[in-house]
Amino acid sequence: MCGIIAYFGNRKAVPVLIDGLKKLEYRGYDSAGICLLNEGVPAEQGLLYVAKVKGRVSELEKIIPSSEVSKIGIAHTRWATHGEPSEVNAHPHFDCKKEIAVVHNGIIENYGALKEILENEGHKFASKTDSEVVSHLIEKFYQGNLEEAVVKALKLVEGTFGLAIMCKGEKKIVVARRGSPIVLGIGENENIIASDAVAVLPYTKKVIYLKDNEMVVLTENNYSIKNFNGQEVEKIIDEIKWSASEIEKKGYKHFMLKEIFEQPNAIENTLRGRIDNDSKIKLTVDIDLKSIKRVIIVACGTSWHSALIGKYLIEKIAKISVEVDYASEFRYRNPIIGAGDLLMVISQSGETADVLAALREGKNKGAKTLGIINVVGSTVAREVDSGIYLHAGPEIGVASTKAFSCQVTALLLFAIFFAQHKGEKVDKELISEIAFLPGKVDEVLHESDKILEIAKKFKDAQDFIYLGRGINFPVALEGALKLKEISYIHAEGYPAAEMKHGPIALIDEKMPVLFLATKDNTYSKILSNMEEVRARGGQVIAVVNEAGNDINNLTKNVIVVPKCREEITPIINTIPLQLLAYHIANLKGIDVDKPKNLAKSVTVE
């Protein structure tokens, strides 16, 4: 979480840093700060200009005077871990003399012990953050060379960090990474460092992704990359494939709405070139799948819901056993995993700390690893044995939408690919129906206004229940998560048949219950569950692909989606739930792209 950015170049730093922070705000937005190395005075006298606010980057922008013309600076947008959101806890943090400025993303796990040592040595701390120990540690070791002091300080630090550091008297920015993403954008007479390539994209497409235990030193028109032993490291310059316009709202009120409506196109991109004329799936998976005896999928949040659907698809189509675990639980239960296992990790960002820890655990124990990732060059993408990129384009809205539908599409492709490798027969009709998926998603998007009317009826509900069965049970979980995240309405997802084992106690006239009731072999059972809700006064919302009298007699709140094979229903059925959550949250006046307490990329454990 948290976004950091640093600029050293030939234009005014403030607009670059503020614009970059706005693009990184999805990583955290409870407070923000900036520090500039003032020019117009000799470097050795260079002064630090500092501004911090509690709140959004737009508030920070308001207080920086236009007279700040410095071309060197660092900035930060925060998602609080240690210390509440406040001006004093906002970054940058300083040493005692206020000459060393630090912005930090990550967690300094041994900050308590370090702080005690430093306080005993006379250092006075201003904030409640873990990050402040870094500036005091650097001060402790500083003898006129910032780079050297940083290296000495980082040897004592445990935990994760993406750091950008400046100090009065040296015309340079030192950046270091361990466990938190850092990308260097290489421009013409300017260099930009950020937590995510989206912040450097307006200036350059040439980037270098830092690995753990690497640092960059930015100086006038120059950069050098070293390891923490001071040795220069050779790095490959990558090219960002996304265009700057892809990270704009393009007339939509929110990124989330734009991303919901981008789904037909995004799914098309996930599918592109991956189904050949003989109905063979083409994926570049460099793993001997014939040697795989079991699949384990780990992920978090929305990606965990895709994993649950993936289990259903891989078991049904490739006929191999699949286990699904929360990445955060997997690592700590000493999992039984090793040779013969395929550990799949699903992560939109490719930077989720829990996912990375689970991936490393599986790798260390000898499993083969396969990633399903959206962000090219992300840490997961670089650490897995093999990967399948979604090509969904940047997802900025905190609530994941298009990444989910593309993950499920990729899992469907992988299930068929795996089956074809094992020599399992795959129904050709299924493969040909996949080609119609983008068009069917587009049809659902046309229901948006109707879904808005349903949203108006239920926007003031306190609680919601989502029910689905089989492959659509994870869709119920995802629908409930979307609503919780952005509307702050309490919502639970259950397998429909579980309702009578407990949740039915909650049903009364105030409780909306959304049923995923597209036709499959459990349809008649779902209808009975709806009757049970109606009998207790509950209000039914139904997502169906055939609106007959059986449904119409039970509820007026019916959302009709196109018919498709069961394997494809999770993608189709999720779209109305995304729209319902969006419309409810928007009607409630919530900042849908930045809901409270959340951050898009969860880079702390």
Who contacts 9 (Cβ-Cβ below 8 Å, separation ≥6)?
A: 16, 71, 187, 189, 190, 191, 192
Query: Between 107 and 398, whose beta carbon lies closer to ligand AGP?
Result: 398
In whole angstroms, the minimum distance from the beta carbon of 403 to ligand AGP comes to: 6
Q: Does 398 bind ligand AGP (CB under 6 A)?
A: yes
Q: Does 603 bind ligand AGP (CB under 6 A)?
A: no
The token duo for 143 is: 């003898």
Q: Does 28 bind ligand AGP (CB under 6 A)?
A: no
Strands (E) across 13-160 are located at 31-37, 48-54, 72-78, 93-94, 100-105
Q: CB neighbours (10 Å) of residue 195?
A: 30
Query: Between 23 and 123, whose beta carbon lies closer to ligand AGP?
Result: 23
Q: Does 602 bind ligand AGP (CB under 6 A)?
A: yes
In whole angstroms, the minimum distance from the beta carbon of 522 to ligand AGP comes to: 27
**Burial (CB count <10 Å: 0-12, 13-18, 19+), residue 592:** buried
- Please state, in angstroms and rounded to a whole number, the distance separating the CA atoms of residues 604 and 81: 9
Q: Which of 2, 35, 406, 564 is catalytic?
A: 2
What sections of 33-171 are H helices per DSSP?
Answer: 57-63, 111-120, 132-141, 146-154
87, 76, 283: which is closest to 166 by C-alpha?
Answer: 76
* Cβ-proximal residue to ligand AGP, closest one: 301
- Please state, in angstroms and rounded to a whole number, the distance separating the CA atoms of residues 585 and 572: 21
Run of H or E residues at 527: helix 523-535
**Burial (CB count <10 Å: 0-12, 13-18, 19+), residue 596:** exposed
Question: What residue has token string 């709405």?
Answer: 257
Who contacts 413 (Cβ-Cβ below 8 Å, separation ≥6)?
A: 270, 271, 274, 275, 281, 283, 388, 434
Query: Between 151 and 358, whose beta carbon lies closer to ligand AGP?
Result: 358
Q: Does 399 bind ligand AGP (CB under 6 A)?
A: yes
Question: What is the total residue count of the chain?
Answer: 605
Q: Does 31 bind ligand AGP (CB under 6 A)?
A: no
Q: Which of 23, 402, 484, 600 is catalytic?
A: 600
Q: Does 400 bind ligand AGP (CB under 6 A)?
A: yes
In whole angstroms, the minimum distance from the beta carbon of 439 to ligand AGP comes to: 25
Query: Between 302 and 409, whose beta carbon lies closer to ligand AGP?
Result: 302
In whole angstroms, the minimum distance from the beta carbon of 107 to ligand AGP comes to: 16
- Please state, in angstroms and rounded to a whole number, the distance separating the CA atoms of residues 269 and 289: 25
Who contacts 120 (Cβ-Cβ below 8 Å, separation ≥6)?
A: none
Query: Among 77, 135, 303, 448, which residue interacts with ligand AGP (rule: CB under 6 A)?
Result: 303
Q: Does 132 bind ligand AGP (CB under 6 A)?
A: no
Span from 77-85, 140-148, 294-302, 546-554 in contact with ligand AGP (CB under 6 A)? 294-302
- 167 is annotated as an active-site residue: no
Q: Does 199 bind ligand AGP (CB under 6 A)?
A: no
Q: Does 165 bind ligand AGP (CB under 6 A)?
A: no
Query: Between 173 and 604, whose beta carbon lies closer to ligand AGP?
Result: 604
Q: Does 300 bind ligand AGP (CB under 6 A)?
A: yes
- 596 is annotated as an active-site residue: no
Span from 114-122, 194-202, 295-303, 311-319 in contact with ligand AGP (CB under 6 A)? 295-303
- 451-490 residues near ligand AGP, rule: CB under 6 A: 485
- Please state, in angstroms and rounded to a whole number, the distance separating the CA atoms of residues 251 and 257: 10
Binding mask 317-356 for ligand AGP (x = CB under 6 A): ------------------------------xxx--x--x-
CA 205 to chain centre: 21
Q: Enumerate binding residues for ligand AGP (CB under 6 A).
A: 300-303, 347-349, 352, 355, 398-400, 485, 600, 602
Catalytic residues: 2, 600
